[in-house]
Structure 1
Amino acid sequence: MCLIILTTLTHLSTTKRIHICEPASKDQHSIYRVPKHIYETDEKAYEPKIISIGPYHHGKQCLQSMEDHKWRYLNAILSRNLDLSLENYIAASKALESQARSCYSESIDHLESHELVQMMVVDGCFIVEPFLKSKETMIEWKKTMDEGNFFFPDRKKEAEDPIYGTNWMLPLVAHDMLLLENQLPFFVLQSLLKLLNKSSTPSLLQLALDFFNHLSHGNNGIKTTDEDPRKVLHLLHLFHSSLLPPALPKSIPSATELKEAGVKFKQKKNMGSFLDVNFSKGVMEIPHFPIYDSTNSLFRNFIAFEQCFPISGAHFTSYAILMNCLINTPNDVAILKHNKIIEHMLGSDEEAALLFNQLGKAVGVYFENCFSSCLFKDVNKYCETNWHVWRANLVRRYFNNPWTMMSLVAAILILTFTFTQTFISVFSYAHPPQF
């Protein structure tokens, strides 16, 4: 069959092109070599155990024993849709060749066009077929259990397949599918599955998650991801996304909005750093932060350093994002000034607001690693509580102005006296005094 693939590749100019799935982005590296200093800490963790997928480990002698199984699975895929020939699968992969090459951070120019396309077809089918086979096996087992038959289905077909005919091989295959260096672009796998053209076939995204979930016995927290399939880079990226916690909030209301929701601002005393911000029980404590003419330049260079050298953290970037959220208008600046949190030597509050609004532009940050991520979560949760908003409105309307407060107290006293008088009158009528 290898010869057939090579022969077919030489005739692609006359082959009718079929519809294929386009990747989310082009010319973007997504499949990397593990950096040497990381690789050397535990070499076995990054090396495939029994099978190579993609170009990085292709041809290694220690992985050759599984090559025959790849061809077996290619035949299995071809038998699923007899209306298509091998030529169709080759054409689909050939159309994606240049985009696939751009996904690898390390040059794979040593592979000729026909070599890479053959690898995409053979390795891709080797991945897709187990996904489909596992789904079918689970459906068969569920049907057997629903019928009240607690004996396992006939595993004769599985016994003919060494990967499914043993208990130890499939977990190793799944392990190798999730190695950073052992990946094919997700859009290549999608294009192969799409050729099956069966409406009953689940999406590749769901097939992959079901496959890994089944092998982990559902204990790894794998969930149905809402990831757009067009944005999935490869299987490791998909698995990584499926295990992430819910997205953390990336913003909070402005100082004015927070004040209206009942949040109080307080200058934090005895702090070790002006970055030490915290929120508890409706009070946001922020250390005093003086703003000078040089602040903009200094902060921008701090942020640029953190962007270029992530190991240094994202402390100043996080602080800039926090202040950018809090300050939208000069009124927000005035609130923080009133609470002695910021002090600026600029021309106006508007200029101070503009400074923070500009700092966060074109800045990338992983919110999971920001010191402000938990703070954002707590603040938003507090603001979503109706009681806090209602209490803040009550205080703002009736207790900020002493005359308004006196009028409210007077009204309450009048209502109390009226109620008391009414009660006495009704009670006296119902229970007249006895003489």
Structure 2
Amino acid sequence: MWAAEYIGSTKISPQELHKKVVQNMESLKPLFDDDLFTQNQRFSEYEKQGYGSPEDMISWMLLVDGCALLHILEHAKLHKPYKMNVKVDQLVLVMQDALLLENQLPFLLLKHLWRDSKENLMEIMKGFLRCHHWATKEDQVNFTADFPQPTHLLDLQRSIILYKPPTQNTDKKGCCVPKRHIGNGSEAQDVSPENQDDMVTYRNIKELKAAGIEFMSSKTRRPADISFSLGWFHSTLKLPEIVVDDTTAATVLNLIAYEMCPDFQNDYGICSYVSFLDSLIDHPDDVKELRQERILLNSLGSDEEVADLFNTLSTDLVPDMGKYVHLRNQIEKHYKDKLRTWLALGYNTYFSNPWAIIAFHAAVVGLVLTFVQTWYAIHPKTRRPADISFSLGWFHSTLKLPEIVVDDTTAATVLNLIAYEMCPDFQNDYGICSYVSFLDSLIDHPDDVKELRQERILLNSLGSDEEVADLFNTLSTDLVPDMGKYVHLRNQIEKHYKDKLRTWLALGYNTYFSNPWAIIAFHAAVVGLVLTFVQTWYAIHPTK
């Protein structure tokens, strides 16, 4: 039926088309196996079928099959199944059968039977192959490229799948050639066969991701578009999109069978690609990772089914071991670099998502707070009068004082201790009297209390700063302290006070650098001074 429809569309009689086949039979014979003409039982019964010779029967069979295939190539459109007078599910099976290895017809035969029209037979064949998921809608380079004359339809499909754009390495036939550059384009050394076993490494997606290798889609579906780029926090393996559906197994196995034909000299591009994918996909988790990165588009079923599919497809494959060896070497280089893997582990553990980042910073804050608690546990703030010290500095010196708690009980407590120290029969060093006298020498006005309160030295639970200042002035009345007790401390303070350079530096620091607004005002004044100087200069030396 389909052959008749095609012949009717050519406006050429069947006899004329048959004559073309007969005239070119000698050139077509080498394209078939010898058994077709000598040992096929079907053709030995040619007389029963009404043919004059086996060659006559074969030529008519080639005519019918060739015309039927050309009709399929022209009109098999999944969105227009009515043109083939079949349902969509039947049309899918027809299109699959047209690509089976055992059903292939030589391109030369199709060329002889093709009607002389403006439509190019190669373009018709490419159009038929567009529905097999080997190119994205955005990337149609595979189908717009020029290919040499194929052996048959399956050969053209393989060439389209393994096509490399001109920027990549291709052989004279446009077939896939092993990459010799990767990532930044650095040249790779040829790998000798005896070294290949040591250099080829098989690691699945889960292992590679744990080692800090991220996966990214190349946004194409060409097996040639695989690349690897090294990085410190993570390296990146770019893979083409992989569409897996109900036709994938049949399509891939058919191409593998073609590559493994004894009389087909090729680079095992499909076998090597499937073997490489199988080395990455061992478990359903590997499929899940690729699916989440939009690399693997699963229209087959569960992740388990896809993993099983790849493990099955690669059974008994003999790939070209040198095809992806440089890629594997780069992956192995990352994998064996402990610094990279440790950095990647840290990045993936603590910075892979917002919640991990928040948890990491929360842990850091907790650690810092624990450190601060430990520090103050070892160096606690004291309230001992003995813990007074002084350290000299250029821009400012530091007087360390113990905490002073002032509340309603302070006056009674201190006065009671002073009275005890002043008992005639109590021999002591007047420690409390000396301490209170020293504090009174520091505190004269409410402003002094305010300074100590702001530095968290004086904890005021009594009342106003005036009340605290009055309290210390009252407590020190008629005291007789030990004058030598704080003499060294007073001498250090006096030394700083009399050193003009220190006091001037301290004055400048406190005036112009004590807070951000003072710093801004200082720099604004300097800029204003410089601009005033420039204006004065040009006022005295005006330009001509």
Task: Pick the TM interval, shorter chain.
Answer: 0.3 to 0.5
TM-score, with normalisation over the residues of structure 2? 0.32
TM-score, with normalisation over the residues of structure 1? 0.39
> Which gives a bigger RCO, structure 1 or 2 (Cα 8 Å, sep 6+)?
1
